[in-house]
Amino acid sequence: MMKKQLYVWLMIVLLLAPSHALAAKTKYQWNLADIYASEADFERDYQAAADALPKLSHYEGTLQRAANVAKLFALNERIARKLEKLSLYAHLKQDLNMEDETAAQLKAKVETLAAKYAAKTAFIEPELLSLSEQTLAKLQKSKPLQPYRYYFQELREQKKHTLSKREEQLLAKLSPIMSDPENIYNHAARSDYEPPSIRTPDGKTVPLTDENYTKALEHPDRSYRKRAFQTRFQSYETIENTSAATLYASVKADELHAKARKYRSGLEAALSADDVPKQVFTNLISTVNDHLPSLHRYVELRKKALGVDRVHSYDMYVPLSDEAVAKKMKFPIETAQTFLIEGLKPLGDDYIKHVQLAFEQRWLDAYPRPKKYTGGYNTGAYDTHPFILLNYDGSLNAMLTIAHEIGHAMNSVYTNKTQPYHYSGQSIFTAEVASTANEWLMMDYLMKRAKTDEEKLYLLNQQLEQIRGTLYTQVMYSEFEQAIHDKVRQGGSLTAGELNALWLRLLKKYHGPAYAADPEAASGWLRIPHFYDAFYVYKYATSLAASFELVKQMKADKTKEATKRYLQFLSAGASDDPIRLLQKAGVDMTSPEPLENLLSYFDSLVREMEQLLKKQRKL
């Protein structure tokens, strides 16, 4: 835990060319010299970290004394910060060119050093956890370890679920086996699975990759959507039984591990890892279930707008707005920058200043290029500015992706400016609040400036689908997870037939009477790799509700106190548990109120869309 995990993914910048055109383009490319100005600087940090590693062992067996622990933590931090920068540079360099052999060699070199570091620091937490509760309490209260009070608080909580040294060693040896179900699933669902091909309406034959399948479900030709859906899901039959077996094995492993660590259930173990009370999870399920009529109304609205007898799975993604509007809604990156600066103004002048810096100081690598990593993300190190990778295409989704990733970036900026290194990370539970808050603000800004009913309809459709996908769908997934974990914990098994039946029941329950649950849709559970990371997906829903509530408060508060609390939340990092951090910001996720407010907003959007469609005589 004191070892900050080296999650660093990411990128490097290309050499400046003399041409004016290329120089203009370079404005939207990273400058990796911001991490290391030269190879010599990289090598200097690498050697310093490598030379310091043996010193860590000097403290083994001495951690009952506060002075020794403080010295160890200080040394550990110096090494970890260098490793973080080294890893960041190598990953970023490779993500700019996935075929860069020099980058691959650097990455391998750093990973080897990181593995040695992990081995050298492996004694720290086990040794601390082996100390008596009295000694741990004394360390927590000691003057040299005052900056680590919350760390020791968490450690003492963890001690309740720590086993004897021999048992811990056994669990450690078994841990690779525990991850085998996911590995087998990934081989079956990704490596061995061949997506089927389909003929598009314009006569091309394309493989039904994730990207092509998404395009097919948004296509106005219903017969094509249906064909794509049936072709895709029928192709899953070859991996259905294997996927059921691997999921069953994974859930058994989760429940066994939880029981071994003295938790009542896999759910309790997963929530404990984030210091989240069970009430947060149960509130989420029950509150969303109480508001299912709003989703049913939306599905009924889709049925009427599309002019179909029942809405099938392949009807849930096609836009209800005019296709031409999407083509007009284009945002060159300069326009996106202007809109972001305007749309994010409720976050205050200091926040906007940092958004401008992101564009001016080349935090963004914006455009797709051959061999560049696809997708989008934000990363960085404690001692660098954030780095945002994009593959910007000028669409609304692309602009919202910038807003989302800048939210993550600003979370790091404010945290790193305020917190010591050991509290500089964020839990997923809070990190997604910072990113989705920006999306709420941008969508609010865009909807207010919509010039036509068609533009407004397009944006309403976007907002409704965001809430449906992030709240209703993720809660349905969470309910599915809870059901299969409960069944296995009570001695039951999981077969493909049982999983299919449960999935279909949930689809019908969530989508209501206007929805037709196609038999092929029953195997939808096997498309969700997150089920191998127990009780993860609920965090997307809670984060969305928390960010909605925070943004609502900021927009309504003329005193700017809500904005001040929000910036303090961004600055808090991992200095406290996520629920308390959110409570200090003004949102209590143990209460159903934030969820109630977001679900009421969803219902109001459905009604607004209904009125617009009636006005346009589409209903």
The CATH number that applies at residue 54 is 1.20.140.70
Q: Where in the sequence numbering do the catalytic residues fall?
A: 405
Residue 12 has pLDDT above 80, yes or no: no
Amino acid 25: pLDDT: 61
Closest CA to 399 of 376, 432, 374: 376
The reply to whether 354 falls in a domain is yes
Average pLDDT over all residues of the chain: 93
Amino acid 168: pLDDT: 82
Amino acid 128: pLDDT: 96
Domain count, the chain: 2
* Residue located via tokens 């940092």: 354
Query: Is residue 594 a contact partner of residue 549, using CB atoms and an 8 Å limit?
Result: yes
The reply to whether 520 falls in a domain is no
The CATH number that applies at residue 427 is 3.40.390
End position of a domain, from candidates 449, 483, 512:
449
Q: DSSP characters for 140-153? A: HHSGGGGGGHHHHH
H/E stretch holding 199: strand 197-199
> HSE on the CB side for 244, CA within 13 Å?
18
Give the pLDDT confidence of 142-193 residue by residue, as tens digits. Answer: 999 999 999 999 999 999 998 887 888 888 888 878 888 998 998 888 778 8
The reply to whether 39 falls in a domain is yes
Give the pLDDT confidence of 208-224 residue by residue, as tens digits. Answer: 999 899 999 999 999 99
Rounded to whole angstroms, how far apart are CA atoms 323 and 230? 24
Mean pLDDT of 494-501: 97
Can you read off the two tokens belonging to residue 355? Answer: 């958004």
Rounded to whole angstroms, how far apart are CA atoms 26 and 31? 9
Query: Is residue 456 a contact partner of residue 612, using CB atoms and an 8 Å limit?
Result: yes
Amino acid 511: pLDDT: 98
Rounded to whole angstroms, how far apart are CA atoms 381 and 89? 10
Query: Is residue 471 a contact partner of residue 541, using CB atoms and an 8 Å limit?
Result: yes
The reply to whether 69 falls in a domain is yes
The reply to whether 183 falls in a domain is no
Rounded to whole angstroms, how far apart are CA atoms 84 and 9? 10
Q: Measured in Å, how far apart are the chain's first and last C-alpha atoms?
A: 56
For β-strands 197-199 and 205-207, DSSP reports them as antiparallel
Rounded to whole angstroms, how far apart are CA atoms 88 and 384? 9
* Residue located via tokens 């305020």: 418
Amino acid 162: pLDDT: 87
Residue range(s) defining the domain that contains residue 351? 327-449
The reply to whether 541 falls in a domain is no
**Which percentage of the chain shows pLDDT scores above 90?**
86
The reply to whether 178 falls in a domain is no
- What 3-state DSSP class applies to 207? strand
Rounded to whole angstroms, how far apart are CA atoms 499 and 495? 6
End position of a domain, from candidates 449, 467, 490:
449
Rounded to whole angstroms, how far apart are CA atoms 134 and 585? 34
The reply to whether 251 falls in a domain is no
- The dihedral built from the CA positions of residue 355, 356, 362 and 368, taken in this order, carries a sign that is positive
Q: DSSP characters for 482-527? A: HHHHHHHHTT----HHHHHHHHHHHHHHHH-TTB---GGGGGGGGG
Provide the edge-to-edge strand list for the sheet that holds 387-389: 364-365, 387-389, 377-379
Mean pLDDT of 453-460: 95
Amino acid 386: pLDDT: 98
End position of a domain, from candidates 402, 425, 449:
449
Mean pLDDT of 465-490: 98
Q: Where are the alpha helices (DSSP H) in 160-291?
A: 165-178, 180-186, 210-217, 222-234, 240-260, 266-273, 278-290
